[in-house]
Amino acid sequence: MLAALAGVYQVAPVAAAASTILVVTSSSGTYGGTTNLSAHLTSGGSSIVGGSVDFYRGSSGPFTATTDTNGQASINNVSVAGLSAGTYVGEVTASFAGDSR
């Protein structure tokens, strides 16, 4: 933004948007049982408190949780029924749509 002052222009700095990072914690469960899902949400290096995080386990979900004072969102007892023993990269995903803060 430029502002004219007696023929002199001043440039007003524009704050850069902080990047928002959502990190899903790895989880495990027993065959036919359940697992707990969690993720950490930050913006500009600081935890986001009160953010709404949607978790998905495969095609199941969303399971919605609100971040606590540490930026952690957790959902307990999510079924892993139908999964055989093994490692499933990308089976659990999470999203944060943002807010107006």
Average pLDDT over residues 33-50: 92
Contact 38, 21 (CB under 8 A): no
Q: Residue 38 has what pLDDT?
A: 93
Confidence of residue 1 (pLDDT cuts 50, 70, 90): very low
The reported pLDDT for the residue numbered 72 is: 97
- Report whether 54 contacts 95 (CB < 8 A): yes
Q: Looking at residues 91-100, what average pLDDT do you find?
A: 82
Domains of the chain, by residue range, sit at: 19-96
SS3 26: coil
Residue 87 has pLDDT above 80, yes or no: yes
pLDDT of residue 8 exceeding 70: no
Second CATH level (architecture) for the domain 19-96: Sandwich (2.60)
Q: Please state, in angstroms and rounded to a whole number, the distance separating the CA atoms of residues 74 and 98.
A: 17
pLDDT of 61 higher than 80:
yes
CA distance from start to end of the chain: 22
Percent residues over pLDDT 70 in the chain = 79
Q: Is the pLDDT of residue 2 over 50?
A: no
